[in-house]
Chain A
Amino acid sequence: MIDYKIKLLRPTKNILNDTWVWKMAWRDARHNFSRLFLFLAALITGIAAVVALDSFNRSVQQDIESNAKELLGADLVINSNKAFDAEIFTVLDTNTLALAGEMELTSMVLFKNSGQTRLIRLLALQGDFPFYGELKTLPANAYEKVKNENYVVLDETLATQYEVSSGDTIKIGKQFFPVAGVVTKVPGGGGLAATFAPTVYMNLANINETGLVQFGSRIQYSYYVKTNSDKETADLQNRLQSIAKRYGYTFETVQGRKDGLGSGFQSVYRFFSLLAIIALLLGCIGVASAVHIYAREKKEEVALLRCIGSTGWQAFSIYFIQIAALGFIGSFIGASLGIGIQQSVPYLFTNYLPVDANWPVQWPSVALGLALGVVVSVLFSLLPLVNIRFVPPLAVLRANNEVITRFSKVRVTAWLAIVLFPFLFTWWQTQNAVIAIAFIVALLLVFLLLSGVAWILLKSLRRFFPNKASFALRLGISSLFRPNNQTQLLVVSIGMGAFLIATLNVVEQSMLAQVEFTGNENRSNTILFDIQPEQKEGVLMLMQTHKLPVQQVVPIVTCRLQDLKGSSVEKLQADTTDSIPSWALSREYRVTYRDTLTKSEKLFKGNLQTRYPNTDVVGVTISEGMHENLRVDVGDSLSFNVQGVPIRAIISGIRKVEWSNDPPNFIFVFPAGILEPAPQIFVTTTFISDNAKATVFQRELVTAFPNVSLVDLRLVLGTIRQLFDKLGLVVRFLALFSILTGLVVLAGAVSNSKYARLKENVLLRTLGASASFINKITWVEYFYLGTMAALTGVVLSLLSGWLLTTFFFEIAFSSDLPELLIIFFSIVLVTMGIAWLNLRKVLNTPPLQVLRKET
């Protein structure tokens, strides 16, 4: 034989200039859009969720940023829980500064026309509040009437609820006031506080007529200040510092309000960020899964192209171009859908946002969605598509020729990028590298655990194979470990979907549980406060008349700290190295005295002095948390100024207090036998079982004791529920897109194994198996698969949910077992359902068609 040594001169082509590749990509794609439906669906839902959530976060942040001054209504607000001392005017120059005064207190209001009552927040205003933004009313001149006459205006929701309109009369304290109109917009929006206690606005000049300002009344005094520049605001704040320290005044600045609102929305941001990450990751799995199926279906065609002269890169590029182009189209649709969702969210949120929900399209979010979509589609399709390069042309003659696994730089790079991408995205979303690393490590662990579970499942099924079970059951189970089985891949994909969906649910439940507290008969649902000593018997009598249980009668004494561990409060405030917050030293404390602990408290350190032993030192207990603020521990000394009388005390114990449980609860509790002679007011609690009873009692209480306020916890609870139902709706609405992506992934994962079983089931049918028999074996197989995957995913989600709530959201962990069970069964059922849908195709395919194709 001649030893041929002819060198082949093969021209190398740049793929970008290879018109054939582009032409083939288009020709092939024309008929493949339906095949790439899974790919598009996963990408669209993932990107839509990311864009919607990112837009939402940006919009709220932008609104807070751009309306900062309107949120406060002034440049600076000075607050005090007692009347301002005249000394403040040595600094506040009324000639150069605009000032507006305000008194805020809670009170009951009686609506004359209906006879109904309601706890409200009363704002008595003086001057030109607000300096920024506008207090809008209906009719427009209503606020002017308040400023100049004895009219009042009230929140629109309150007016609507109690059917009050201009010209009606309401009773506040002892006095009736005509209503001038309703408030439709107020700087800062009133926020959540306005939802629980709607506001009535009146002129400060008329406040004394109400009789609400008396001993023990909880009143907050404020001055709104308008300066000429930000520098002047900062200077003023500096000059006010020493007076503020001395008298316990606090400041609110524009920046502070912004930060406060920002941190208030922090958990929501974080939850939405998590949703975005999960949606995107599910989208990534969906993309990889769909392209994997697609690349498999294309094997024969690729083999033919290789056979007639295409290089591996040319074949790869045909499908890569398709996926990249579809990735862009999918991202565009996803981003548009995301914007649509974002535009609809304000309608659901409108009452609960601090600023007007007037949200423009967030182009950075759209750009992010488009970029992410293209990156995700390219990155996660690379691995399955790289295999196309290695399809042997011989597969055109022998269909069972497997793709050769060769070392490929592209494959290694793709793997690295796939691990790096979720990390970088999580880092960017959370702005925290540690969280991002933890998140990725957790995901890898879940991946490994799921693979492990699949491995154990296969091993144990082989080892404990039910030899005596029915034929269908045996066939179904043995399908799990058939050659080229997809069991491991399916368990990982379905399990990962289940894990992410269940994690989302656990986090959602934990967030909702933050405010979910339920009332029962052992707990009070109505609190009456500001009861003067002379009114105590009368109020208790009224409660008895209405057959209401008196669950607590708690005396409240107001006092201030005088010294702490031997240093006077003044000295501590002057000490700049001391880290005790000024507010904790100068505030007015509302304390009580008793000889026992309540149901909502536990003593976790020291002792409880039940009764003052007539020695020099009184043993008081302090609530956990506050002892850290004041830097005190058991045995430390302190003294109180109780209405001018100094009382020396030591910290005898520290209590852990569940503040939301059975209020009122207190920071300091004195023993019995020392504060009884001090001027005091009372709070009492009761349980009212039904609305009608509550209405009658409230009406009589307001009539007989106008200064006594009543908090109906059922109303508060109802409002919170309503709020969270609405918030929950938004959260679920947005989470739905993550879940939808998960379902698409699930469909992809099940479809992955479709072709393996198509042949097998057709063969069984040819041999005479009935449709129900084939149904049975498929259901057995998928039941096992779904159960193992979903169970592992859901169990792991509890762990990840705990980690996330504890370290990421910093809230208490809570889960809802019935909901997790619903998720578990749904995933099993969906897996079986999708299997059945696939099976329908198998049942409808004539056996001959498949058999002929295989010959």
Chain B
Amino acid sequence: MEQQYVLEATSVNKKYILPNSELTVLDDVSFRIEKGTTVSIIGPSGSGKTTLLGLCAGLDVPTSGALALMGFRLNNMNEDDRAFLRNQSVGFVFQNFQLLPTLTALENVMVPLELRGEKNVKQKAKELLERVGLKERLHHYPTQLSGGEQQRVAMARAFMNTPTILFADEPTGNLDEENATHITSLLFQMNKEEKTTLVLVTHNLELANQTQRILKMKGGRLTEDVTSHSKTL
């Protein structure tokens, strides 16, 4: 039976032990995300959005509660297994682009498939870079690209492994308005074409409003789950 939910969080808690106290960052968070939907997580600074994104992507494990990604229980997997799962099914777009500075744009995009051991991946990487409008910048290094261009390379990389789910952390946070608009439309367009599930963390309500569902966080708790687009936040 095909799995209906690509991401499922049940009573997720995340606590950090400090020298003299305990800091609860996530408190009893539960939700499910269906395949092919677009979801945004919003909330004030320190509300636990980024921590939740990290946990959902298997970058860390919850203190308690259960997290399942693509039907795999993340809690039970070791770090390398989670990395393998990410490589197979997850794409990432970060606020500060996170390109490998020593690799060209083309090489950066090729990394996820090369990591799988696949050969002849150059053509696909070129096509993706062409789709994001960087056909002429294949052999440029990140430092030779503008912020908007770097983010487009990051998006091409995110789609390189044909992910089932794409996590985006403030994808337009470091861009000017014009570039932000361009990246946003590109993100939604590619997401639609690739039928990817999109989970994005943002402060930008305009961006959040473009997703089908909004999860609102405050003080480490999921305070609201808005699925109707007619409601203005």
Contact = CB atoms under 8 A, between A and B. Distances in A.
A310 interface: yes
B87 A394 contact: no
Interface in B57-88: 57, 59-60, 66, 68, 71-73, 77, 79-81, 83-88
Nearest to A309: B87
Interface stretch (B109-117, B129-137, B211-219): B109-117
A396 B95 CA distance: 10
B169 interface: yes
A312 interface: yes
Contact of A27 (B57, B72, B107): B107
A306 B60 contact: no
Contacts of B71: 4, 6
A679 B187 CA distance: 116
Given A4-B71, A307-B86, A396 B79 contact: no
Nearest to B84: A10
B117 A13 contact: yes
Nearest to A31: B102
Nearest to B83: A309
Contacts of B169: 397
Interface in B164-192: 169, 174
Interface in A819-855: 852-853, 855
A393 B60 CA distance: 8
Given A309-B86, A311-B80, A312-B79, A28 B117 contact: no
B148 interface: no
Nearest to B53: A397
Nearest to A314: B115
Nearest to A404: B79
B85 A28 contact: no
A851 B112 CA distance: 30
A309 B84 contact: yes
B85 A8 contact: yes
A243 B102 CA distance: 83
A79 to B, nearest CB: 73
Contact of B92 (A6, A300, A308): A308
A6 to B, nearest CB: 5
B205 interface: no
Nearest to A308: B112
A777 B54 CA distance: 39
Given A1-B10, A13-B117, A397 B103 contact: no
B114 A23 contact: yes
A667 to B, nearest CB: 76
B66 A394 contact: no
Interface string A719-744: 00000000000000000000000000
A5 B76 CA distance: 9
A30 interface: yes
B102 A398 contact: no
A5 B73 contact: yes
A855 B174 CA distance: 9
A301 B96 CA distance: 12
Contacts of B72: 4, 6, 8
A20 B79 CA distance: 19
B98 interface: yes
Contacts of A310: 83, 87, 115
Contact of B59 (A3, A5, A393): A393
A18 B118 CA distance: 11
Contacts of A855: 96, 174
A4 B54 contact: no
A411 B101 CA distance: 29
A312 B53 CA distance: 21
Interface string A286-317: 00000000000000110011111111111000
A617 to B, nearest CB: 87
A394 B60 contact: yes
A303 to B, nearest CB: 8
A13 B80 CA distance: 12
A392 interface: yes
A604 to B, nearest CB: 66
Nearest to B111: A308
A316 to B, nearest CB: 12
B27 interface: no
Interface in A305-337: 305-314
A19 interface: yes
Contact of B102 (A6, A10, A32): A32
A8 B81 contact: yes
B60 A308 contact: no
B30 to A, nearest CB: 8
A31 B99 CA distance: 14
Interface in A385-399: 392-394, 396-398
A308 B73 CA distance: 18
Nearest to A9: B84
Contacts of A27: 102-103, 107
A853 B79 CA distance: 27
A3 B161 CA distance: 27
B48 to A, nearest CB: 12
A406 to B, nearest CB: 10
Given A4-B71, A308-B92, A309-B115, A397 B83 contact: no
A354 to B, nearest CB: 55
A307 to B, nearest CB: 6
A392 B83 contact: no
Contact of A311 (B54, B66, B83, B101): B83
A434 to B, nearest CB: 46
A2 B10 CA distance: 10
B145 interface: no
A8 B112 contact: no
B115 A20 contact: yes
A308 B85 CA distance: 9
Given A6-B71, A31-B101, A396-B98, A309 B59 contact: no
Contact of B60 (A28, A301, A305, A392): A392
A18 B157 CA distance: 21
B112 to A, nearest CB: 5
Nearest to A32: B102
Given A23-B114, A392-B59, A308 B86 contact: yes
Nearest to A29: B102
Interface in B1-43: 8, 10
B181 to A, nearest CB: 21
Contact of B98 (A5, A24, A304, A313): A304
Contacts of B111: 24, 305, 308
Contact of A28 (B57, B77, B102, B115): B102
Nearest to A304: B98
Contacts of A396: 59, 92, 94, 98
Contacts of B174: 852, 855
Interface of B: 8, 10, 50, 53-54, 57, 59-60, 66, 68, 71-73, 77, 79-81, 83-88, 92, 94, 96, 98, 100-103, 107, 111-112, 114-117, 141, 157, 161, 169, 174
Closest 4 CB pairs of A and B: A309-B87, A311-B80, A31-B102, A10-B84
23 contacts: A2-B8, A10-B80, A13-B117, A18-B117, A20-B115, A23-B114, A27-B102, A27-B103, A28-B100, A301-B100, A301-B101, A307-B98, A308-B92, A309-B87, A310-B87, A312-B80, A393-B86, A394-B60, A397-B50, A397-B59, A397-B94, A397-B169, A852-B174
